[in-house]
Amino acid sequence: MIWQKQYKSQRAVVSTFASPSSKRSNFRVGGQETTPQSITEHTLALYMKRKLLKQIIILIALSVCITSCSVVRQANELKTLAKCDFRIYNMEGTTLAGVKIDDVNRMSDISLLEITKIMGAFASGNLPLDFVLNIQVRNPNGSVAALNRLDWILYIDDIEMTRGILSKRIEIPPDGGMENIPVEVSFNLNQAIDGKAADALINFALNLSEKGERPTRILVKAKPTIYVSGTPIDYPGYIRIRNEFGTR
């Protein structure tokens, strides 16, 4: 009888542990009671956090590398620009008080109506002279040259006429590549050359550039600027540009 009781007792113990409805054993982790399932979820969460942290570190490292490479590239673009050749190629779209004078060689070629318009502007004290000055840049170097802004001063017969800023990114390809920089010029001829008669100012405008030839009386002083990581870096001094290629 004793052995029958022991057998039944052992079967009861085995049945208790094998039953699906029996409770799972709990553990204490960090002073708190938990189950094997919650431990698995906690481990998975830690794994995901570590994986995300690694990805963030990799992205930061890549960002720093890309930024550093970009800074070096931008600085080299200005350094290369300093070794390029510049010249005034031509001037086009020339108007005096709104009258086109690109193909006009002398005052007699201007119609009476246009002369009346020019004289009226002269009498008002505002005789605007407008044109586009095309500056050619030649890059004999082995890397790209570039600028983001160009501060310029225009001289005619060594007299400062006007100054301005061209805000435009321009890239000059390497190995003899060329690029045009269009500079839009506009100033009041009455103020620039004070004390002159109307016919003298008209002839002055007509003689700036003879048809088909580069202007020889014009000098441009240019200061290029490039942005390095958003910070403007100016070219030291000014580049003197005339109608023949030269670096200064």
- Encode pLDDT of 113-172 as tens digits: 999 999 999 999 999 999 999 999 999 999 999 999 999 999 998 899 999 999 999 999
- Non-local (6+) Cβ contacts of 206 within 8 A are 101, 104, 105, 106, 107
Residue entry with tokens 């938990």: 34
Mean pLDDT computed over 88-111? 91
pLDDT > 70 in the chain, percent: 68
Cα-flanking dihedrals φ and ψ of residue 141, to 5°?
-90, 170
**pLDDT at site 213:** 61
Domain boundaries along the sequence of the chain = 76-241
**pLDDT at site 33:** 56
State yes or no: pLDDT of 59 exceeds 70. Answer: no
pLDDT band for 216, please (50, 70, 90 cuts). confident
Q: Are 89 and 242 in contact (CB under 8 A)?
A: no
Query: How many CB atoms within 10 Å of residue 212?
Result: 6
Q: Of 1-5, 85-89, 124-128, give the lowest mean pLDDT range.
A: 1-5
**pLDDT at site 69:** 57
Entry field: residues in the chain: 248
The encoded tokens of residue 222 equal: 């240019």
- Encode pLDDT of 9-25 as tens digits: 545 444 444 444 444 45
Mean pLDDT computed over 176-193? 95
Per-residue CA distances from 156 to 79, 152, 189, 219, 235 (Å): 29, 13, 11, 6, 23
- Non-local (6+) Cβ contacts of 106 within 8 A are 206
Distance CA 156, CA 115 (A): 24
Q: Of 5-19, 28-42, 96-110, give the lowest mean pLDDT range.
A: 5-19
State yes or no: pLDDT of 75 exceeds 90. Answer: no
Distance CA 8, CA 11 (A): 5
- Secondary element (H or E) of residue 42: helix 36-81
Distance CA 97, CA 208 (A): 16
